[in-house]
């Protein structure tokens, strides 16, 4: 028994010694990692800061819009007696959309046409004189009107007829004499000019009546798709309210806003390359068709419209987009954008020591950041990997120097 107890005591002692040794080895390993970083430096990758050719761009944001919508309003009023198209249907320019009751307009046209024909005949008679049968009628009317005037004059002299009756009869007699004179000899030049003007007036009235009649058939003013239909069969249509809304055929457009400082640097015809979060990893192109001369007072921005000319994936109206216009290239002092910490700090390496630089003058251009305030100079070693674990004064170990 004593022998067994002694053996177990020895085993416990060996285990205790081994456990203490293992703990010491682990502590030694932890210390060695810290000591290596202190002695050899924290591993980083760097670039040598330099000037380079960078694209000169104007950035802007905007929204995708559908082609223009057109409201269709009747030019004449009346009851809707037929509807030929419905919401969602395609239409061509000039295609009939609905019919307004046209009986009254047909009657108006016939009256205007008859008045025009009568005026033309009057002009012909004024120029060439009346035909024999017309001359007989004019003579008979003259005889009747003048005899009636003489009869009323006799009655007036006797105090039987009123002065108003006498004046009316005299006017009719004088007009009949002139008509007979014109029928026999033709009208004088100044009379013909008056009659010609009356003919033109009658022609214009006839053309207007025909136009009103034609407008009872309401047609589409554009090619497109009907987006809304407000017309109701049997309902009265006015000349102020839209009865259809048509989405014009054509490419979508993007409405951008551009900074006031860049307004005069762009022009119609420039190409905008843009992206949207709605479609990942895809670039679209649009051509500028309009640049506003007006700057919004609150934002100091101007409006720009561009027609989409390259749409690899269909865009939905209302999508937010970010675009840029290339204006050439320029030599700039820049480093990779990923070197920047918190949008204002760069870490440089001087000897084997990390130095933090505050850069207040920076401008991002694509994947690079242009340095404008002299926080670093060409030839400086700038950390692009590992900078997030560095502090001012840390010792560093450069694993690689990369080019850009």
* Helix-helix angle 132-157:163-185, to 10 degrees: 160
pLDDT at 36 over 90: no
Predicted local distance difference test score (pLDDT) of residue 195: 79
Nearest-angstrom CA–CA distance, 10 and 16: 10
Buried b (16+ CB within 10 A) or exposed e, 69-108: ebebebebebebeebebeeeeebeeeeebbbbebeebeeb
Contact 236, 80 (CB under 8 A): yes
* Helix-helix angle 163-185:103-128, to 10 degrees: 70
Residue 274 CB neighbours (<10 A): 23
Span of 148-157, 173-182, 208-217, 238-247 with lowest mean pLDDT: 173-182
Span of 36-45, 74-83, 138-147, 278-287 with lowest mean pLDDT: 36-45
| 140 dihedral zone (left: phi>0; alpha: psi -120 to 50; beta) | alpha
Predicted local distance difference test score (pLDDT) of residue 395: 94
Predicted local distance difference test score (pLDDT) of residue 175: 82
> Which of the four pLDDT bands, split at 50, 70 and 90, describes residue 30?
low
The two structure tokens encoding residue 372: 């404008």
pLDDT at 235 over 80: yes
Q: 137 or 321, which is more confident?
A: 321
Give the mean model confidence (pLDDT) for residues 115-126. 80
Domains of the chain: 42-53+331-402 (2.40.420.20), 58-67+249-330 (2.40.30.170), 72-101+220-247 (2.40.50.100), 103-214 (no CATH)
* Coil/strand/helix, residue 335: strand
What DSSP string runs through 47-105? Answer: EE-EEEEEEEEEEEEEEEEPSPEEEE--SS-EEEEEE---TT-EE-TT-EEEEE--HHH
Nearest-angstrom CA–CA distance, 373 and 371: 6
pLDDT at 25 over 60: no
Q: Which residues pair with 324 in a beta bridge?
A: 59, 273
Q: Which residue has the tokens 């309210």?
A: 241
Arithmetic mean of pLDDT over the chain: 87
Q: 63 or 40, which is more confident?
A: 63
Contact 369, 363 (CB under 8 A): yes
Nearest-angstrom CA–CA distance, 16 and 279: 65
pLDDT at 131 over 80: no
> Which of the four pLDDT bands, split at 50, 70 and 90, describes residue 167?
confident
Provide the edge-to-edge strand list for the sheet that holds 217-219: 217-219, 96-100, 78-83, 236-237
Q: 115 or 130, which is more confident?
A: 115
Express as a percent the part of the chain with pLDDT over 90.
Answer: 58
Predicted local distance difference test score (pLDDT) of residue 18: 47
Contact 265, 58 (CB under 8 A): yes
Q: Which residues pair with 355 in a beta bridge?
A: 348
* Coil/strand/helix, residue 21: helix
Span of 42-46, 61-65, 120-124, 216-220 with lowest mean pLDDT: 120-124
CA atoms within 13 A on the CB side of 267: 3
Q: Which residue has the tokens 């293992």?
A: 22
> Which of the four pLDDT bands, split at 50, 70 and 90, describes residue 33?
low
Q: Give me Rg for the CA atoms of the chain.
A: 48
Buried b (16+ CB within 10 A) or exposed e, 244-271: bbbbbeeebbbebbbeeebbeebeeebe
- Is the pTM above the cut of 0.75? no
Q: Which residue has the tokens 């198209």?
A: 85
Predicted local distance difference test score (pLDDT) of residue 31: 54
Predicted local distance difference test score (pLDDT) of residue 119: 83
Predicted local distance difference test score (pLDDT) of residue 354: 95
pLDDT, tens digit (0-9, with 9 covering 90-100), for 258-310: 988 888 989 999 999 999 998 988 999 999 999 999 999 899 999 999 999 99
pLDDT, tens digit (0-9, with 9 covering 90-100), for 177-225: 877 877 766 666 777 788 789 889 999 999 999 999 999 999 999 999 9
Using alpha carbons, select from 328, 75, 333 the residue that is nearest to residue 213: 75
pLDDT, tens digit (0-9, with 9 covering 90-100), for 322-368: 999 988 889 999 999 999 999 999 999 999 999 999 999 998 888 99
The two structure tokens encoding residue 276: 């949207």
Using alpha carbons, select from 299, 305, 293 the residue that is nearest to residue 264: 293
CA atoms within 13 A on the CB side of 247: 15
Predicted local distance difference test score (pLDDT) of residue 129: 61
> Which of the four pLDDT bands, split at 50, 70 and 90, describes residue 3?
low
Nearest-angstrom CA–CA distance, 289 and 345: 41
Find how far residue 14's CA is from the centre of its chain: 87
pLDDT at 232 over 80: yes
Predicted local distance difference test score (pLDDT) of residue 2: 47
């Amino acid at each position: 028994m004593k022998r067994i107890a002694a053996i177990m005591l020895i085993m416990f002692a060996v285990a205790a010694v081994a456990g203490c040794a293992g703990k010491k080895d682990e502590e030694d390993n932890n210390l060695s990692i810290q000591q290596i970083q202190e002695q050899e430096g924290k591993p980083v990758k760097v670039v040598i800061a330099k000037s380079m050719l960078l694209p000169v761009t104007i950035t802007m944001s905007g929204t995708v819009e559908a082609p223009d919508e057109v409201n269709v309003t009747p030019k004449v009023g009346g009851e809707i007696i037929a509807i030929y198209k419905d919401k969602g249907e395609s239409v061509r320019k000039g295609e009939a959309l609905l019919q307004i009751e046209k009986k009254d307009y047909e009657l108006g046209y016939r009256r205007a046409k008859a008045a025009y024909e009568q005026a033309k005949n009057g002009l012909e008679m004024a120029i060439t004189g009346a035909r024999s049968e017309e001359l007989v009628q004019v003579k008979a009317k003259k005889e009747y009107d003048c005899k009636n005037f003489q009869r009323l004059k006799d009655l007036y002299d006797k105090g039987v007829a009123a002065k108003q009756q006498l004046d009316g009869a005299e006017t009719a007699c004088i007009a009949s004499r002139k008509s007979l004179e014109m029928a026999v000899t033709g009208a004088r030049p100044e009379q013909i000019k008056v009659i010609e003007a009356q003919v033109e007036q009658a022609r214009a009235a006839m053309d207007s009546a025909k136009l009103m009649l034609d407008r009872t058939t309401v047609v589409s003013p554009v090619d497109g798709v009907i987006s809304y239909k407000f017309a109701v069969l049997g309902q009265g249509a006015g000349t102020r309210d839209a009865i259809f809304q048509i989405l014009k055929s054509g490419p979508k457009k993007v409405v951008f806003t551009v900074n006031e400082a860049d307004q005069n640097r762009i022009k119609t015809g420039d190409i905008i390359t843009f992206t949207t979060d709605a479609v990942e990893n895809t670039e679209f192109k649009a051509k500028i068709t309009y640049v506003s001369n007006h700057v919004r007072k609150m934002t100091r921005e101007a409006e720009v419209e561009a027609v989409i000319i390259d749409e690899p994936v269909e865009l939905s109206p209302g999508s937010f987009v970010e675009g840029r216009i290339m204006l050439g290239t320029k030599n700039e002092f820049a480093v990779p954008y990923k070197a920047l910490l918190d949008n204002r700090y760069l870490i440089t390496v001087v000897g084997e020591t990390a130095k933090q630089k505050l850069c207040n003058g920076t401008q991002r251009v694509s994947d690079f950041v242009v340095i404008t305030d002299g926080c670093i100079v060409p030839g400086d070693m700038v950390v692009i990997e590992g900078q997030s674990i560095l502090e001012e004064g840390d010792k560093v170990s450069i694993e690689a120097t990369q080019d850009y």
